[in-house]
């Protein structure tokens, strides 16, 4: 592995440990030339899939878009970045396990909302309002009433 600081090709692994619930290996490396340390991650290469958008166009799945959408929904909420990363890992694993080469954006949005509903209800409503394109306050109220009815059903 090439050193990101001096570009020397001779680096060595000084520590390895599993991360992400065993789905990746974190390696601490040290450059034999400049002695600086850096971290690399090794994970199984997953088969990329295409997202079929509402207009019928297709684009490669972009994990960054999912992360950014969830971060926006969780702004000013007590949700840690690690929680968001864990949810995105779960979402991505679930989508990959579907073994489909193409997945509709609608399915991805619904999966995201299910995870957000469990994580933070305010973030869920925020995401749903953008994803489902709420037109007015009544649509917000209807979604919140659904959440409240689900809460009553659980207790």
Q: For residue range 22-78, list pLDDT tens digits in order.
A: 778 999 999 999 999 999 988 877 677 899 999 999 999 999 999 999 999 999 999
Question: What's the pLDDT band for 153 if we cut at 50, 70, 90?
Answer: low
Q: Return the number of other C-beta atoms located less than 10 Å from residue 85's C-beta.
A: 13
Please give the backbone phi and psi of residue 133, each rounded to the nearest 5 degrees, phi first: 55, 60
Q: For residue range 90-129, list pLDDT tens digits in order.
A: 998 898 888 888 999 999 999 999 999 999 989 988 898 8
pLDDT of residue 142: 80
Residue 155 scores a pLDDT above 60: no
Q: What is the pTM of this model?
A: 0.63
All structural domains of the chain with their residue ranges: 11-43, 50-154
């Amino acid at each position: 592995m090439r050193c990101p600081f001096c570009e020397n090709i001779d680096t060595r692994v000084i520590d390895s440990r599993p991360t992400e619930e065993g789905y990746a290996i974190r390696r601490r490396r040290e450059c034999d030339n400049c002695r600086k340390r850096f971290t690399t991650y090794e994970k199984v290469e997953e088969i990329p899939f295409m997202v079929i958008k509402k207009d019928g166009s297709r684009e490669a799945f972009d994990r960054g878009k999912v992360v950014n959408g969830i971060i926006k929904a969780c702004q000013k909420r007590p949700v840690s970045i690690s929680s968001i990363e864990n949810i995105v890992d779960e979402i991505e694993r679930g989508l990959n396990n579907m073994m489909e080469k193409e997945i509709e954006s609608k399915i991805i949005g619904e999966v995201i909302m299910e995870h957000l509903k469990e994580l933070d209800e305010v973030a869920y409503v925020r995401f749903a309002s953008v994803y489902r394109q709420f037109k007015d306050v009544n649509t917000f109220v209807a979604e919140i009433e659904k959440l409240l009815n689900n809460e009553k059903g659980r207790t």
